[in-house]
Amino acid sequence: MSEPRTIAPAEGKLGVLTVGLGAVATTLIAGVELTKRGSGLPFGSMTQMGTIRIGKRTDGDTRLIKDFVPLARLEDIVWGAWDVFPDDAYVAASRAGVLEQGKHIEAISDVLRDIRPMKAAFERKYARNLTGEHVKPGNKRDMLNAIRADINAFRDEKKVDRLVMIWCASTEIFIEPGPAHQSVETLEAAIDANDETVSPAMLYAYAAILEGVPFANGSPNLAVDTPVLRELSVKNNVPISGKDFKTGQTLMKTVLAPMVKARQLGVSGWYSTNILGNRDGEVLDAPENFKTKEESKLGVLEDILEPAKNPDLYGNIFHKVQINYYPPRGDNKEGWDNIDIFGWMGYEMQIKVNFLCRDSILAAPLALDLVLYSDLAQRAGLGGIQEWLSFYYKSPQVAPGLYPEHDLFIQLTKLKNTLRWMMGEDTITHLGREYYDEI
Ligand SMILES: NC(=O)c1ccc[n+]([C@@H]2O[C@H](COP(=O)([O-])OP(=O)(O)OC[C@H]3O[C@@H](n4cnc5c(N)ncnc54)[C@H](O)[C@@H]3O)[C@@H](O)[C@H]2O)c1
């Protein structure tokens, strides 16, 4: 046991600002409101349903995570959002088509009707398949100032004690880190020059950090993953994390690829394809936007299999990822993986995965956990990148020079050990010391 960290209590209201009020955000909001009313259970959420073992296996001490760490209560959440469409959360949830209208949307229509999005900081060049008119006027400087003003107005009007911002908006076009993203000076100058390498997602993230609001990035957008925002988040002691919710196909990949590697089975090819018919799929149908997603999805195998260190096993792997926009399926994504592997003496085998999932049903609990853990991190005084939240991301944000950890179960161990460490409990190494101490 060590000294627990000082964690401020989760007193008062927690404002949750979602950038984007589309399928994921409305499924998150509706699910939390239904849970609060006892009309559903938050399956998929570690903060609500997960347990954690404390001490040795022989101690028999396993607790609910929400009883172990001081998380904000669902009852204390107050919702706010931005979107390029003016629809309230009731209309947006109905249009997203994820939840059943009668059973799950009408039941909480009063709360959903009250959530009306603020005007978005948006430019069409970053998502050309979107045409909403509910946008902030002016240049990038005007947009940044307006987001900051929105945050403060929300804080005052709703009388919230703390805030978290989570990006649940569309995937932007691919942007590489460049000169504008190096320091506060270069970023400020780029904003004044309306530099196109400063996207709306970066403006939201910058505004959040300037206002002391933790920022979690559910999309693959560069957003907060730039040298300037990493440094500023440390300086201002604001938790940040990203990128891209790990929900369906990549979730499977980060379970299967470590298994193949653990058994030293070779991989010659991994072909992944999807059909998806929601608005996310429509935005990703533009090649510039798909490129951002593709980068996020492709990195995973390279990082897990480390072909340079294992050339015989993975040195010649062909990896392909496709997303096809197919409206009839809506939010019900179907993913197929064909994995060509080889074993003892090079004999070939195949693994096939067919995942009929529901995109936002998988994403909503991750968004909830990220909100609650980001708030916990802030109350525990942990600023900068929250690597322990890698568990939730396809392309985990890490400090420069480090490679991201993708293996789902290493990520889980890291997350739970971070909670134990925060609370002053021993971390669990699985060494089995109690056994060796006896012999
Ligand atoms: N399983 C999943 O659903 C999943 C998994 C991983 C990542 N994501 C990512 O999460 C994000 C949200 O997914 P979704 O299915 O809810 O998409 P969606 O299209 O239903 O919702 C996104 C919303 O964001 C709004 N928006 C776009 N740009 C904006 C801006 N600059 N400011 C404010 N609002 C803006 C759009 O109008 C839209 O209503 C996407 O980037 C997606 O790639 C989703």
Question: pLDDT (tens digit, 9 = 90+) per residue, 380-420?
Answer: 999 999 999 999 999 999 988 888 999 999 999 999 999 99
- Regions of the chain short of the pLDDT cut 50: none
Closest ligand 1 atom to residue 362 Cα is 1
83 lines ligand 1 (CB under 6 A): yes
Closest CA to 371 of 50, 154, 71: 71
Which of residues 356, 380, 406 is at a domain's end? 356
Specify the residue for token string 């195998």: 301
Specify the residue for token string 């009007």: 157
Closest ligand 1 atom to residue 130 Cα is 37
The pLDDT score that the predictor gives to residue 299 is 81
Are 130 and 260 in a shared domain?
A: no
169 lines ligand 1 (CB under 6 A): yes
Calculate how far, in angstroms, residue 433's C-alpha sits from the geometric centre of ligand 1.
47
The pLDDT score that the predictor gives to residue 436 is 59
Within a domain: residue 166?
A: yes
Closest ligand 1 atom to residue 360 Cα is 3
Domain count, the chain: 2
Closest ligand 1 atom to residue 122 Cα is 31
C-beta separation of 254 from 396 below 8 A: no
Are 311 and 415 in a shared domain?
A: no
Nearest alpha carbon, ligand 1 atom 2: 359
Backbone torsion region of residue 156, taken as left when φ is above 0, otherwise alpha when ψ lies between -120 and 50, otherwise beta: alpha
The pLDDT score that the predictor gives to residue 332 is 87
20 lines ligand 1 (CB under 6 A): yes
C-beta separation of 282 from 325 below 8 A: yes
Compute the CA torsion angle 166, 222, 387, 218 (nearest 10 deg).
30
Which positions ≥6 away from 100 have C-beta within 8 Å?
Answer: none
The pLDDT score that the predictor gives to residue 368 is 98
β-sheet bridge partners, residue 355: 335
Are 87 and 218 in a shared domain?
A: yes
191 lines ligand 1 (CB under 6 A): no
Q: Ligand 1 test: best mutation among 147, 166, 170, 284, most atoms within 8 Å of CB? A: 170
Within a domain: residue 329?
A: yes
200 lines ligand 1 (CB under 6 A): yes
Query: Which CATH number covers residue 194?
Result: 3.40.50.720
Q: What's the pLDDT tens digit per position in 318-369?
A: 999 988 999 998 888 899 999 999 999 999 999 999 999 999 999 999 999 9
The pLDDT score that the predictor gives to residue 4 is 83
Within a domain: residue 3?
A: no
Which positions ≥6 away from 162 have C-beta within 8 Å?
Answer: 12, 13, 14, 15, 72, 375, 378, 379
* Token pair listed for 143: 């947009």
Are 234 and 266 in a shared domain?
A: no
DSSP 71-99: PPPGGGEEEEEEESS---HHHHHHHHT-S
Cα separation values, 375 from 10, 214, 231, 422, Å: 9, 7, 19, 14
The pLDDT score that the predictor gives to residue 323 is 86
Distance CA 50, CA 369 (A): 11
* Token pair listed for 424: 């002053």
Within a domain: residue 429?
A: no
Within a domain: residue 172?
A: yes
171 lines ligand 1 (CB under 6 A): yes
How many residues are there in the chain? 439
Tell me which residue range forms the domain holding 334. 249-356
Which positions ≥6 away from 84 have C-beta within 8 Å?
Answer: 120, 122, 130, 132, 133, 134, 135
Closest CA to 170 of 80, 286, 299: 286
Nearest alpha carbon, ligand 1 atom 1: 359
Q: What is the CA radius of gyration of the chain?
A: 22
218 lines ligand 1 (CB under 6 A): yes
Are 345 and 405 in a shared domain?
A: no
* Token pair listed for 141: 């400087």
24 lines ligand 1 (CB under 6 A): yes
Within a domain: residue 412?
A: yes
The pLDDT score that the predictor gives to residue 435 is 58
Distance CA 439, CA 436 (A): 5
Are 235 and 253 in a shared domain?
A: no
Query: Which CATH number covers residue 324?
Result: 3.30.360.10
Calculate how far, in angstroms, residue 79's C-alpha sits from the geometric centre of ligand 1.
17
Are 125 and 266 in a shared domain?
A: no
